[in-house]
Amino acid sequence: MMEPVIRIDGSSASADLGQPVLDAPKLVWNGSMLVFAIIFAIPYFTFSALLMFFCLTYATLLLGHSVGMHRMLIHRTFICSKPVERFLIYIGTLVGVAGPHGILRVHDIRDWAQRQPRCHDFFSHRRSLLKDLRWQLFYRFEFEKPPEFFIEANVASDRFYIFLEKTWRWHQILLAILLYAIGGIPWVIWGICMRVIVSAAGHWTITHFCHRPGQGDWDVKGASVQASNLPGLGLLTYGECWHNNHHAFPESARIGLEDDQHDPAWWVIKWLGEVGLAHNIGLPRAKSSREDLTKRLI
């Protein structure tokens, strides 16, 4: 049996009672990035800015979000030294979605809700893509009966993570100064505004389609939301598109479990292990411990 979500106590909570409400900080942050990108991206377009945008977006999402925030911080699928850990989390902070504590809250509450017998459409992604994106980018969910959320002591008390949580938006300024020094205003517009909104919207777009009916080998018993794999998108999504595998085996650092399921984040973690920078790297649990899963019939 997989380990339960240790940061959530939902014993007196309801995952389907409540409603999305406009969240002012998210509206200002994501809205300003969207508006600046729409207004200034074309006037300040250069090919060097476009190339930098693609490289920086992919690198920060791969190393920071997928490897650092998701597989290391959230799911603890591997362990590494503090300097390497903090480097990965800092890169994840630069993605511009949330700080380390915030990303834990967003992920774990959603994961808990999806594993309940019923959950609100805000967590199940049943609505249209445009409505779902509007909710995720500009709204928060206000529970009638909220779950209790806890962060493990070693993360909650880490001064570096506390600092990042309080200041995560402001680190874009430091990056903007560096980008301006290299490529001027075009690099700032494409490396900050365009990158942040594309990263956030791209993350929620993949999340939307990964939680709708589709391909996959496993169902989680009792869960109202069953994840899907999205074939052909492994390289583009750093391996996060193999989400049916991930829901079944959240303890595994490797999400693309088949040879043809490309998983760049796993390649990075595997390399970290080979050079001695990562250990206790998790893989899918033994067949004898999968009583919470049902194998789909093909």
Q: Could you report the per-residue pLDDT of 202-220, keeping only the tens digit for each?
A: 999 999 999 999 999 999 9
pLDDT at position 6: 79
Determine contact, residues 74/108, Cβ cutoff 8 Å: yes
* 225-238 confidence digits (pLDDT tens): 999 999 999 999 99
> Partners of 143 in the beta sheet?
18
Neighbours of 76 (CB within 10 A): 17
Compute the distance between CA of residue 84 and CA of residue 218 in angstroms, rounded to an integer. Answer: 33
Record the pTM. 0.95
- The b-or-e profile of 20-59 (16+ CB within 10 A means b, else e) is beebeebeebbeebbebbeebbeebeeeebeebbeebbbe
pLDDT at position 140: 97
Mean pLDDT of 49-56: 98
pLDDT at position 296: 87
Q: Is the pLDDT of residue 33 over 50?
A: yes
Mean pLDDT of 248-259: 96
Compute the distance between CA of residue 211 and CA of residue 110 in angstroms, rounded to an integer. Answer: 11
Element containing residue 178 per DSSP (H, E): helix 171-188
pLDDT at position 173: 97
- 108 Cβ neighbours under 8 A, 6+ residues apart: 5, 7, 8, 74, 149
pLDDT at position 2: 41
Q: Is the pLDDT of residue 190 over 50?
A: yes
* 273-297 confidence digits (pLDDT tens): 999 999 999 999 999 999 999 998 7
Mean pLDDT of 125-141: 97
**In which residue are the tokens 């900080």 written?**
25
pLDDT at position 297: 74
- The b-or-e profile of 200-235 (16+ CB within 10 A means b, else e) is bbebbbbbbbbbbeeebbbbbeebbbbbbbbeebbe
pLDDT at position 1: 38
Residue 19 buriedness (CB in 10 A; 0-12 / 13-18 / 19+): exposed
pLDDT at position 5: 55
